Structure 1
């Protein structure tokens, strides 16, 4: 787990980025109503959690900075037995003051009056300008006379780009649970089952290992369904002879995992499936071997496109010079997405890909990203040899950038044809 001292250090780093005579404000996530008086499970705002580790709603974090002083203040909900009867126990101001390493803790009900005091001598306001939170809208009304309003979110997102040792351990824990789920999906008998049965097995494994939510809606796509990149219906039968693309990862202690494996329904790859699968796998392994500090994601993307295009030419899926095919973007029909994305508290961590000068940020020690090449061939694509039609394959792992190279955090999850087939025989 992450210590309170680390959250305090993050707040200090953020505060240093604010100019003197500033106030910074970050609100907790607002509960999402499902219908009438029922709600979706509460999930804290990622930036708020990154700076506090606090999981309750109706809370505010405030930074007060002058030339000579920095204060951090939190507002939390009061202890109320009646409310707690319905929605659960609250920390309250007394416990919050003893837990959080902040200067002051006040009741959330006092925020409006306190805020009016706070802004009297301030010239700059930093807040989540693009947010639709109702509490923020009320604050912006109170500060309508201020001309110097700034977005605090990009400052936090830059900080989230480099993971601490504690964060890396939490990501590893999340991946370890996800590994069990994928191995479960590989090993169970799939005869007569539907995609949603496999989804249930995966998410059962998540919850049985204290990962109470998935990091994103699981994709369990059999056969041609895999050629819909964001397929989440998961309602088709598992047909013998087809492949199943499973893109599933859990969230554990607020940190995500993001893993994709493609497996045969009946436990054995056909030769055409094996040819495509090994092309994607070899591409992924070569890209991972290139990863180290100062390498750029765009270089990894370009190399993946070259490798996949050359492989598809050899298999007769594409025809002509690979350079001309790439120049004309013809390969995008079969590999339309990027090589990977940042990952952390959010499965697609919103950390920047470019710096303030709009230059690409090269890889650095402590970054975590996914590497996920794929090939997707629609069943009705008559330009492709029939043996490859209706096959969609993606292989995705979570990669940590190290001092001299990288570490595949999900390397324990079966990935080769032989490993996957061996698990299916258990």
Structure 2
């Protein structure tokens, strides 16, 4: 678990990057209807979680560096015994002050009256415009009202996209984050092992998906970090196949791409194995070339290398393998230059991992591939 001390440290770092005379506004995720009057399980917005650990909808974090009465404010739902009987406990204002260390807390229903006053005289408004159209309109409405009120004085501050600074912070993982991510990876690896042990011809893809989900859940990871891909035979050639409904055939391969989410942190593992437990000669040859490519990519990952290094290493090995298997013809360097491998390997190798499975953070800095540093995952 991430401590409230660490959440506070994250907020402090962000406010240092924001500077004086600024304000940050970070809304929570919204509940999403699944069908009619039922909702999907609520999952907090990743940025909101990163700064607070507070797991309720209808909430807004406000950060105001240098504010006399406290720089960390939360607007959230009030306690309501009747609604809590139906839908679960709420922290209320006292709860977020006590348990989530907010300096101030106000009912979310009062945000239109209170937040514009907090925005007044702030030169920079840090906000992720474009994530939530309805909330965007509210923020712009507050700004326009302030501009009308302050007509004849200095114009109201500009909106700055908070994601650049915040996502750069999220890119570097703390020891606590790495510990959680290691646990997520361990659970996910156990799920893949279970899936391998249970696989046999005649089962359906969803049978294997259920084994994976069972292993996640029994270790405290109730949810997958993304829709699990369980793809038998030709389905494995669809990059984001999620139907998981076909029957597993003797002689085919099974591709599984699945990882759990554990305390908000994702794992992501892809493996392929023969459904009947025995490789054909051709299957083993392809498998071994892919394994060599993975091993070559892993060897490049170290501080000082750039993020393209694993991809370049994998492409080199895979292209060589495609030539040796007779699928491509020509010199490996020329084939790589001409991207002749792309019909068989059309994506990059790897991605950032964290609170989101495809985690945030720039892959290029100044037009060049980003250099890998300690703490990046």
Alignment partner, residue 138 of structure 2: 138
1:121 alignment partner, SS class: coil
Post-superposition offset of 1:19: 2.7
Distance in 2 separating the partners of 1:174 and 1:252: 5
Please, which runs of 5 or more residues in structure 2 have no aligned partner?
A: 148-155
Give the stretch that moved more between structures: 146-155 or 287-296.
146-155
Mapped contact 1:5–1:101 kept (Cα < 8 A): no
Q: Which residue of 2 aligns with 1:292?
A: 302
The alpha carbon displacement at 1:234 in A equals 1.1
- Structure-2 residue corresponding to 1:35: 35
Query: Aligned-pair distance for 1:198?
Result: 0.8
Contact 1:20–1:67 (Cα < 8 Å) also in 2: no
Q: From the superposition, tell whether residues 189 and 291 of structure 1 become closer, same or farther in structure 2 (CA, over 3 Å).
A: closer
2:102 corresponds to = 102
Cα separation, partners in 2 of 1:190 and 1:97, compared to 1, 3 Å: same
Once residues 231 and 279 of structure 2 are traced to their aligned partners in structure 1, the CA distance between those partners, rounded to angstroms, is 16
* Superposition pairs of residues 313-328 of structure 1, within 5 angstroms: 313-328=323-338
Cα distance per residue 1:21-76 (max 9 Å; x no partner): 11110000011112222111100000000000111111111011359896111112
Contact 2:296–2:310 (Cα < 8 Å) also in 1: no
C-alpha distance after superposition, 1:163-216 (max 9, x if no partner): 000001111111111112111111115231111111111112111221111000
1:358 and 2:367 are equivalent in the alignment = yes
Equivalent position of 1:195 in the other structure: 205
Q: Is the contact made by 1:27 and 1:136 (CA closer than 8 Å) also made in structure 2?
A: no
Q: CA RMSD of the aligned region, Å?
A: 1.6
SS at match of 2:221: coil
Among 237, 244, 252, the residue aligned to 1:234: 244
Q: What is the total number of aligned residue pairs between the two structures?
A: 367
C-alpha contact (below 8 Å) 1:22/1:66 kept by paired residues:
no
CA contact (8 A) 1:21 1:67 kept: no
- After superposing on structure 2, the runs of 4+ consecutive aligned residues of structure 1 that deviate more than 6 Å are 67-70
2: distance between equivalents of 1:4 and 1:123? 29
- Distance in 2 (CA, whole Å) between partners of 1:329 and 1:229 is 19
Q: How does 1:16-35 map to 2 (within 5 A)?
A: 16-35=16-35
Any residues of structure 2 matched to 1:247-266 within 5 Å, and which? 247-266=257-276
Q: Work out whether residues 78 and 107 of structure 1, in 8 Å CA contact, stay in contact via their aligned partners in 2.
A: yes
- Decide which moves more: 64-73 or 128-137: 64-73
**1:3-402 aligned within 5 A:** 3-66=3-66, 71-132=71-132, 134-144=134-144, 145=147, 146=156, 148-355=158-365, 357-368=366-377
Q: Which residue of 1 aligns with 2:151?
A: none
Task: Give, in whole Å, the separation in 2 of the partners of 1:128 and 1:28.
Answer: 12
* Residues 70 and 20 of structure 1, relative CA distance in 2, 3 Å threshold: farther
User: Residue 17 of structure 1: SS of its match in structure 2?
Assistant: helix
Q: Deviations over 1:395-425 (max 9, x none)?
A: xxxxxxxxxxxxxxxxxxxxxxxxxxxxxxx
Structure-2 residue corresponding to 1:371: none
- Aligned residue for 2:120, secondary structure, equals helix
Determine which structure has greater relative contact order: mean sequence separation of CA pairs < 8 Å that are 6+ residues apart, divided by chain length. 1
**Do the aligned residues in 1 keep the contact of 2:301 with 2:309 (CA within 8 Å)?**
no
Q: Which runs of 5+ in 1 are unaligned?
A: 369-426
**Aligned residues of 2:130 and 2:136 also touching (Cα < 8 A):** no
Query: In structure 2, how many angstroms separate the alpha carbons of the residues matched to 1:136 and 1:208?
Result: 40
Could you tell me which residue of structure 1 aligns to residue 153 of structure 2?
Answer: none
- Structure 2 CA distance for aligned equivalents of residues 275 and 116 of structure 1: 64
| 1:147 CA displacement | 5.2
Would you say the 8 A contact 2:297–2:309 is kept in 1?
no
- The answer to whether the 8 Å contact 2:172/2:376 transfers is yes
Instruction: Tell me how far apart the structure 2 counterparts of residues 91 and 147 of structure 1 sit (CA, whole Å).
Output: 33
Please report how far the alpha carbon of residue 134 of structure 1 lies from its aligned counterpart in structure 2 after TM superposition. 2.5
Give the Cα separation in 1 of the matches to 2:310 and 2:189. 25
Deviation at 1:265, TM superposition (A): 0.3
Distance 1:67 1:211 in 2: 39
Could you say which residue in structure 2 is the equivalent of 1:410? none
